[in-house]
Amino acid sequence: MARRAQPLGAATGLGLGAAALALALGLGTIAAVALRAEGPARLGAADLAAVRFTLLQALASAALSTLLAVPVARALARRRFPGRGVLITLLGAPFILPVIVAVMGLLAVFGRSGLLSAALAPLGLGPVDIYGPGGVVLAHVFFNLPLATRLVLQGWLAIPAERFRLAAALGFGPAERFAHIERPMLREVLPGAFLVVFLICLTSFAVALTLGGGPRATTVELAIYQAFRFDFDLGRAAWLALIQVGLSVIAALSAFAIAVPGAFGPGLGRPVAQLGTDGRWLRLQDAAWLTLATLFLILPLAMVALRGLPGLAGLPPSVYAAALRSLAVALGSAALTLALALPMAIAIDRLKGLRGRAVQAAGTLTIAASPLVMGTGLFILLFPLADPRLLALPVTATVNAAMSLPFALRALMPAVAEAERSHGRLADSLGMTGGARLRLMLMPRLRRPVGFTLGLSAALSMGDLGVIALFSDPGHATLPLQLYGLMAAYRMESAAGAALLLLVLSLGLFWIFDRGGRTHAEP
Amino acid sequence: MLSLETLVLLQGGFSLSADLTVAPGRIVALLGPSGAGKSTLLDTIAGFLAPDRGRVLWQGTDLGPFAPGDRPLSVLFQDNNLFPHLTAAQNVGLGLRPGLRLDRDQTRAVETALDRVGLAGLGARKPAALSGGQRGRVALARMLLRNRPLMLLDEPFAALGPALKAGMLDLLADLAHETGATVLFVTHDPADARAIADQTILVAEGHAHPPRATADLLADPPPALRAYLG
């Protein structure tokens, strides 16, 4: 007997359309770039250096992030202390933090006139300088150490408590516990975590733009931007874009070979009671790691707030205009993300089988895509049709939505499946289809993931400094681009104020939407 | 008249065949051990599963092409019969219009239906604020309003205590007699069949037997039923 084939509803059709659009954004733009890149590659030594630096900085960032994540995650897994929940929540924050805001914060702590340099000066050391390769890696570790910690923490919490009880019963010390319990888990979890961070750092643009540059610290993404923006060499930009795609594809293919853990998995709440870890030395060690990690996360953000407050009052009008443009882009991008992700999630649930997986693949594809490549492709496609500057904001919102799509699907898919599983047959039996089904059955059950999706995509778009840099001129900048302009012009007080404004707007957007989804949500 | 015409349902090692008719206006129990395929048979009639062979007919019309919501029937599941985010009145109103945009007459009809099942004044409550028995009554009120000639019930009252369950079955029988609907209800308890079912379909050993008068069947059970009753 077969599950009765349900007629393909309008939602499924919309979902297929959305998947086609995602494919067009992911692959179509690459095709546009590839067509433009005809003729022999005119790549110089600088371009090869960019490829080398891209790989090396991604390797270093991924290695440092995952290695440092191990002691921090272990301390979080086995210690109870006030503020533990807040700290775990905080580990999720860098994901929605605008890159340029974090860079401002890192400069305030680690820069030439930062806290660290000031602390070293009396000792006759310093000042430290983080412009260059070191700064790029530092910023990447700032963003990805929390992510890696969450991934490794999931591994720790997945170890059955009996295993630790047995270890205590057998009188294991730290070395034996590591060899027999922790190392096997880490061998499973670390490669995936390493790869996730490596993939993220591979398409690094904003960090390289602000902290890198020059022959020693230019990523391929940055080289695309420079070829496009300064040399207006579309052919070279296209070749570089293809190289970027190649790098991403190779890394993404290895991701299929290595199981990549989910970053938003539930259940990071409970600490594992681990007998035999009460020694004073181990406790001190854990406390030290947690303190360092917390300071590393909090200090830069605190500095953004501290240095930004004085500048907030005297912000030039252009900053507020840019903030309004950014809000419009963020809200548009959030709406577009939901408009793409919701029908796709419904279609994935309804189609099941191969076609469902194809829709899912189309939606996940953009995780390995490079926004700059997408932007270059869209520029090539749109250049003959309209003035790209007029399209700067809509294109930015669209590319941002494409980049948020994998995370949106990840939040929505399980919720749609659960709603259909529990109440789909009831809705079927009552003939609830189309709009009535969406309004009365699905949406009330999806408030939380929809709120999360809108919040996440709005915050990501609000803080994005990528495609907009390709297209825009100073008169039509978004807030992150405006902030970058202020930094480049050494108007540090205005920049600090704008950074605080951007931070508040990004986190605020996420908070409002996510909160809206939680209140009055059904159990 | 409901006809199951040389129906065969297969799934893995499981198979169920049925070739029978149910006369209109009857209350018929589907009795048999768990795992025998009672729910599967009901799901096939309701249109959630497609049969591997044979047809389901209502008044001579093949129901095969019709989606569950378009079939001349209402169905109550074991659980999740109400939307938890809608009020009792809204849940009942879905029986009239799946889009829930009710005019004044329809709103009044919802109130009348709630009165009829003994829930006057509770229309504004959400399911979480109702007892298990009250939730069952809301679902019955929706069935009443939907007013389809065939009612299918897959043990929706199984979680209720014996007295409450007996009360719900009595209410079901009353509503069926008032509307003239044909009722097919799944049960594993012969007492339920004895209480309200004129006829009983024995579902056992891969076969759904044609309906027999409940009293006769229970007085002189065939071997398969005797094995089940113990």
Q: What is the ipTM of this complex?
A: 0.89
Q: Could you tell me if A7 lies within 8 Å of chain B, comparing CB atoms?
A: yes
A5 pLDDT higher than 80: no
Q: Of B87, B86, B92, B85, whose CA–CA distance to B139 is shortest?
A: B92
Contact B136, B118 (CB under 8 A): no
A451-467 pLDDT, tens digit each: 999 999 999 999 999 88
- pLDDT for position A345: 93
**More confident: B75 or B230:** B75
A369 pLDDT higher than 80: no
A387 pLDDT higher than 50: yes
Closest-CA residue of B relative to A7 is: B67
Report the interhelical angle of A234-257 vs A45-78 (nearest 10°).
30
- pLDDT for position A523: 46
Mean predicted confidence (pLDDT) in B153-165 = 90
- pLDDT for position A6: 56
- Which residues, numbered 418 to 437 in chain A, qualify as contacts with chain B under a Cβ-Cβ cut-off of 8 Å? 422-423, 425-433, 435-437
Lowest mean pLDDT among A107-111, A262-266, A342-346, B15-19: A262-266
- pLDDT for position A264: 45
Domain ranges of chain A: 9-40+49-264+281-518
Contact A493, A316 (CB under 8 A): no
* Cα–Cα distance measured from residue A146 to residue A131, given in angstroms and rounded to the nearest whole number: 22
- pLDDT for position A271: 61
Contact B24, B73 (CB under 8 A): no
B188-197 pLDDT, tens digit each: 899 999 999 9
Closest-CA residue of B relative to A440 is: B99
- pLDDT for position A339: 95
**More confident: A118 or A164:** A118
A41-98 pLDDT, tens digit each: 677 888 899 999 999 999 999 999 999 999 999 999 888 888 888 888 888 888 899 9
A423 pLDDT higher than 50: yes
Across the interface, of B69, B100, B128, the residue whose CB is closest to A429 is B69
Residues of B at the A interface (Cβ-Cβ below 8 Å)? 9-11, 40, 44, 46-52, 67-70, 74-75, 77, 80-86, 94-95, 98-100, 128, 146
CATH class, domain A9-40+49-264+281-518, is mainly alpha
pLDDT band (50, 70, 90) for residue A274: low
**More confident: A446 or A370:** A446
Q: Global pTM?
A: 0.85
Closest-CA residue of B relative to A434 is: B99
- pLDDT for position A1: 52
The CA distance from A241 to the nearest CA of chain B, in Å, is: 49
Helix (H) / strand (E) element for B33: namely none
What residues of chain B lie within 8 A of the CB of A1, using their CB? 9-11, 40, 44, 49-52
The residue of B42, B85, B91, B146 whose CB has the most chain A CBs within 10 angstroms, and thus the best one to mutate to test that interface, is B85
- What DSSP character marks residue A29? H
**Amino acid identity for residue A326 in this structure:** S
Mean predicted confidence (pLDDT) in B48-69 = 92
Q: Could you tell me if A519 lies within 8 Å of chain B, comparing CB atoms?
A: no
| Residue A516 tokens, joined | 């809206």
Contact A485, A498 (CB under 8 A): no
Mean predicted confidence (pLDDT) in A438-445 = 91
The residue of B48, B63, B76, B79 whose CB has the most chain A CBs within 10 angstroms, and thus the best one to mutate to test that interface, is B48
Residue in the structure block whose two tokens are 């993220």: A200
Computed over every residue of chain B, the mean pLDDT equals: 93
Q: Could you tell me if A3 lies within 8 Å of chain B, comparing CB atoms?
A: yes
